[in-house]
Structure 1
C-alpha cells in the first residue's frame, strides 16, 4: 500500500504535555508520515484523526482499486462536548465517481466488548488472515488479499465501539452508563453514524448494517434508531450468528432449540448412528428440526408428567440425533445443557468440542466434569487474529499509536434491560418497504445456534407479511462461518445477491 497522507487533529486534547503544545492552539503538532514523532503523549488517541492509503484487490477476476482511511471521529455528549474517540476503518472503491448509487455498509461485531476485527480481516474486507482452509492459525502471521471481499459492490466502514479496538473514553468524568448498555450503545452509535454520513457526503447512498453475534442486537436496534430519530432509512440489515434480540424463548422452547445444532455437530464428528451418518447434513437437519418442533417441544411441555412410555420414546430419539447415550439423556430429564454437550460428546475420546465452533477440539485436565476447561475455538482465533490486526493497522495502514488494540475491552457492567431490538427491527421493516433482512448462521455454532437464529427470524415477523423480504442462509462451519474457505466464498456471494435484491429498480417507490 502507498501512504498518501497523514492528518491528525484533536478537538479534545488530553494527551499532549503542556510544554509540547502550541501555545495558541489545542491541536497537537503535525506528525510526519515519514518521521516518527518524538513528543511524549499520554496513551490516548486524539478525538479526530485520519490516515489515508490506497490499494487494489482482485475480486471475481477484476482489479478493484480502493482508498482506505483509518481514523477516529469524536463522540459528543448532549451539550456538544467531546467525551470519547471512536476508531473506524473506511474502504471506498476509488474508481467510482458517483456515490449516489454506491451502497455503503456499516459493520459491527459483538461481545458486547468485541472489536470489529473479526469481519474486518476475515470476512468482507479487502484483506484476510493467513489461515488454512478450515480457519486454523498458520505462521507467519499476517494478512493477504481477500478475493471474496464485497468491496466490488459496496463501500464498507468497520467501527469499534467504545473501549474496543483503539476506541476510548476521553473524558474521565464521562458517565459509563451512556455507553455500556443495550439502548445506550444504540443511541450514541446512531449519533456517530449520522455525523459520519454527513461528513462523508453519503446521505444519498443505499445503506446497510451488518452485525455479528451481539452486533446483531446492535444493528437491529440501530435500524429503528436511525430511521426514527435520525431519519436515515436503510435498504438492508444482515444478521451474522444472531442473538435472541430480546425475543423470549424460556422453558421447553429454549431447552429444545439446541437439538438440531447437536445433530450437526455429532454428524461432523461421526458420532451418529450409521444410518444417519451416511446421509448428507442438509438432508438430515430438516428431519431433526421437524422432530424438535412437532414432538420434542410438546413433550418437554409436559415436564415430569409425561407418559413414561412417551418419555422413553423421546429420550431414544434425542439420543439418536445428539450422539449422546439414551441413559445420559434420561439422567438429564431429556434436556442437555450446551456446556455438558461440549464436554460429553467426545468424552470417551478424551476431547471437548468448541463452543462457538464445534469443529475445534480441546483437551481438558480431566475427562470427568460437566463443562470444558476452555473455549478451544476462541483461543485458536485469538492466536491468528491478534497479531494480524495489529500488524495490519500499524504497519500496512500506518495508523501509529501506543494505544493497545482491545480484541475484547472493558465494557461491564452492561445494562441488558429493556432489550426490544427484535421488535424494533420488525417495526423498522414495517415502516420501510425498502428494507430487507438476511440471517447467516453456521451449523456448528453452539453459542448462537442456527436453529435458534431461524426461530428469531420467524418471531420477528409473527404476521408473516414481510417474510418475502427475509431469508436465512446456513453454512458448514461455526460462529464465524467465513473462516472456512468454502463458506467465505459462499457467504460473501450471498451478501452480493442480497444487496442486488434489496436495491430498488429505477423509479420503484417505497410503498406497499
Structure 2
C-alpha cells in the first residue's frame, strides 16, 4: 500500500520553521539547538521496541534417565521471504539439539500448538522441552508463586532434536506489515509454516535428518496439512504426532444440520460426570473405561438414530432418549427436553455442578472454577496454564536463553482467529475446514509415514469420539492404517501432560514411537 507524501512534506516544513525560530547564535557564529528545541525533537522521535535480529545460542544440561544430556538452545526470529525476495515476516522459534551428535540420522521434530492464534508455549514448557513449568503434584489447581521452570526428565530431547515454532501473529512472530493477512488462514498458514521448515533445514544444514511434526489442537489441522505440503516441496516427513487434535471442524462444531458433535461429546460428558461422582450408582460403580464404552455404544446406536429421525420421533422414543441422556450426563430431564435432545457443551459445563455454583473446564473436565454459568474467558484451564507458563517462560528467555525483546509475547492472540480464513481449508467452495484428505494423501504417498495420536479422557474440546471419527474417514488401505497409526488415551484433558503421571506415560509411548519402524 502506497503511503501519502503529505507527512514527509509537513515534516520538512516543520524542520524549516524550527530552524528559523528555535536556534540561537553562538560566539563563533554557528547555530546550535536551544534546550527547548532539543526537548521538542526528542518528543518527536519516540523509541521503538527492541527486537533482536541476531540469534542467541546457549548451552545447557538436563538429567534424562538419570544421565546428563548436554544440549544447545537457539532462540531466533527467522525471516520469511516472498517470491520477490522481500522479507514479509519474522518467525520466533526456540530450537534444541544434542551437543556432539551427528545430525544426519538424528530426528528433528517441529512442534506447534493450535488456536489458531496460540504460540508453542504449552507443548514447549508443558510436554516436550528440556524445561517444564513447576506445577502442583497432581497437575490440578493453580500453583503458588514463584512460577519457575525445572528440568523435564520426560523431555523428548533424548530421542529427537526439537524446534518449537510460534506461527506469525503468535509469540514474538509478526508480519512486516501488521495489516498483511497472507498468513492468517488454513491454507495460508500451512504454506508459510512449510516455508519456515524448509528454511530451517537449509540454514541449519538438516536436510538429511528425519523430519517429524508435532501439533496440538488446531495444530492437528496444521500438522495434517503440512504432511502433504512438505512432500510437495521435496521434504518427506517420517512421522506426525497429534495431541488432542482436530482435523475436521465438522466433527466439533454443531449446527441445525450437523448433529455429529452431540454424538461425539456424550462419552466425554459421561467421563466428567463419573469423575465428579454425579452418575447413577449402577454407572458410578463401574470403571471409567466401562462407563465410556456404554455411553459410546448408546450414542452411536439409539441416540444417533433418534437424532436422525428429527421431528419424526415419537413421544415414547423421545422420553427414552431423554432418560438415557440424563443418566449419562446427570442433567435434569426437563432441561434436556427443552434443548431438543441436543446438549451444548457450555450447558453441560455449567450444569454438572450447578448445585455448588461451579463450572467445569472445557479443556479438562476434572478442573472446576466458581461461576453459575460457564464463561470461556474464565475457563479453569486458562488459569492453570496462563500466568504460570507466561511468567516462567519470560524469565527463562531472559536469564537462560539470553534473549530479550520489548515486543509483547503473545501466548495467545485472539485477533488472529478473528482474521483467520477458515474457508481456505474446506474441501469444497463452502463447508467446514477439513484437512483429513490431506493426511490421507500423504499416507498414500508414503508407506513409512507414522502417525501417533494422544487423547485425553476428560477433553471436552477435541473429544475422543470426534478424533476416532476423523481417523475413520482416512481413505488409506486398512493394512497401512493398522501398521502406521497409533492411538493412545491418557488420564487427563486437552493438555493431558499437565497430569504428571500421564506425562510420563506419554513420553514412554513417544520414545517407542520414534524407535518403531512401520
TM-score by length of 1: 0.85
Q: Partners in 2 of 1:128 and 1:341 — Cα distance?
A: 32
Q: Partners in 1 of 2:376 and 2:222 — Cα distance?
A: 29
Larger Rg: 2
Q: Partners in 2 of 1:461 and 1:318 — Cα distance?
A: 33
- Aligned counterpart in structure 1 of residue 260 of structure 2, from 253, 256, 267: 253
Cα distance per residue 1:280-319 (max 9 Å; x no partner):
1123212221111122111110112113222222222221
Corresponding residue number in structure 1 for 2:117 = 113
Corresponding residue number in structure 2 for 1:85 = 90
Corresponding residue number in structure 2 for 1:179 = 183
Corresponding residue number in structure 2 for 1:447 = 461
1:39-438 to 2 correspondences below 5 Å:
42-43=48-49, 45-46=51-52, 48-96=53-101, 98-135=102-139, 136=141, 137-171=143-177, 176-228=180-232, 230-245=233-248, 251-364=258-371, 367=372, 374-409=378-413, 410-411=415-416, 412-419=418-425, 420-438=434-452
Contact residue 87 and residue 167 of structure 1 kept, 8 A: yes
Q: Partners in 1 of 2:217 and 2:123 — Cα distance?
A: 11
Q: Partners in 1 of 2:212 and 2:389 — Cα distance?
A: 25
Q: Partners in 1 of 2:347 and 2:180 — Cα distance?
A: 36
Q: Partners in 2 of 1:331 and 1:206 — Cα distance?
A: 54
Residues 314 and 464 (structure 1), Cα distance of their counterparts in 2 relative to 1, 3 Å cut = farther
Corresponding residue number in structure 2 for 1:490 = 505
Residues 373 and 76 (structure 1), Cα distance of their counterparts in 2 relative to 1, 3 Å cut = closer
Deviation at 1:328, TM superposition (A): 2.4
Higher helix proportion (structure 1 or 2):
2
Cα distance per residue 1:97-136 (max 9 Å; x no partner):
x222211100011111111110101100100101112323
Deviation at 1:73, TM superposition (A): 0.9
The alignment covers a number of residue pairs equal to 456
Deviation at 1:248, TM superposition (A): 5.9
Residues 277 and 304 (structure 1), Cα distance of their counterparts in 2 relative to 1, 3 Å cut = same
SS of alignment partner, residue 67 of structure 1: strand
Deviation at 1:462, TM superposition (A): 6.6
Q: Partners in 1 of 2:197 and 2:377 — Cα distance?
A: 40
SS of alignment partner, residue 55 of structure 2: strand
Corresponding residue number in structure 1 for 2:20 = none
Q: Partners in 1 of 2:338 and 2:174 — Cα distance?
A: 48
Q: Partners in 2 of 1:457 and 1:182 — Cα distance?
A: 19
Deviation at 1:356, TM superposition (A): 1.2
SS of alignment partner, residue 246 of structure 2: coil
TM-score by length of 2: 0.84
Contact residue 122 and residue 482 of structure 1 kept, 8 A: yes
Deviation at 1:61, TM superposition (A): 2.0
C-alpha RMSD of the superposition? 1.9
Q: Gapped runs of 5+ residues in structure 1?
A: 1-39, 505-512
SS of alignment partner, residue 333 of structure 1: coil
Deviation at 1:370, TM superposition (A): 7.3
More deviation, 463-472/437-446: 463-472
SS of alignment partner, residue 54 of structure 2: strand
Deviation at 1:383, TM superposition (A): 2.4
Q: Partners in 1 of 2:359 and 2:182 — Cα distance?
A: 39
SS of alignment partner, residue 146 of structure 2: coil
Q: Partners in 1 of 2:446 and 2:293 — Cα distance?
A: 32
Q: Gapped runs of 5+ residues in structure 2?
A: 1-45, 426-433
Q: Partners in 1 of 2:110 and 2:61 — Cα distance?
A: 21
Contact residue 70 and residue 87 of structure 1 kept, 8 A: yes
SS of alignment partner, residue 319 of structure 1: helix
Contact residue 422 and residue 460 of structure 1 kept, 8 A: yes
Residues 169 and 44 (structure 1), Cα distance of their counterparts in 2 relative to 1, 3 Å cut = farther
Deviation at 1:465, TM superposition (A): 4.6
Q: Partners in 1 of 2:109 and 2:389 — Cα distance?
A: 22
